[in-house]
Amino acid sequence: MTIEEAKELEIKLSNDILNNIQLSLVVQIVSSEARRRAKEIISESTEEQLTEMKEKFEKAEAEAAEAAKKQEEAQANAAQDGAPQIDPATVPVIDAAPAPVPEPPAE
């Protein structure tokens, strides 16, 4: 077998493995790698860097909680005002390009 044939076979075999792997196994592998990287980052970081990371996470979590609270309040206010509620899951997604805009008539 030539080197090119071996490389081609390797590609076909790797694609076959990817096509037949279970999604749950992919999630396990990615989760395991994420935990490994997190441990590596923590072990290589200074106390100051760890404190800074913790503060950034706490700030982001607080901002997300505040945004969720504001959205809930807005939905509650809209419901009280009798405004129709739009569920984003029911809005159709259109993958088609927009219709072309007609050219103005030439003078």
Check residue 47 and give its pLDDT: 96
Is the model more confident about 103 or about 98? Answer: 103
Please, what sign has the CA dihedral across residues 3, 7, 12, 13? positive
What's the rounded mean pLDDT across residues 32-59?
Answer: 96
| pLDDT band for position 107 (cuts 50, 70, 90) | low
What's the rounded mean pLDDT across residues 16-29?
Answer: 88
Residue labelled with tokens 């990371």: 53
CB 49 within 8 A of CB 41: no
What's the rounded mean pLDDT across residues 21-25?
Answer: 87
Which residues, other chains included, contact 50 with Cβ-Cβ below 8 Å and sequence gap of 6+? 42
pTM: 0.49
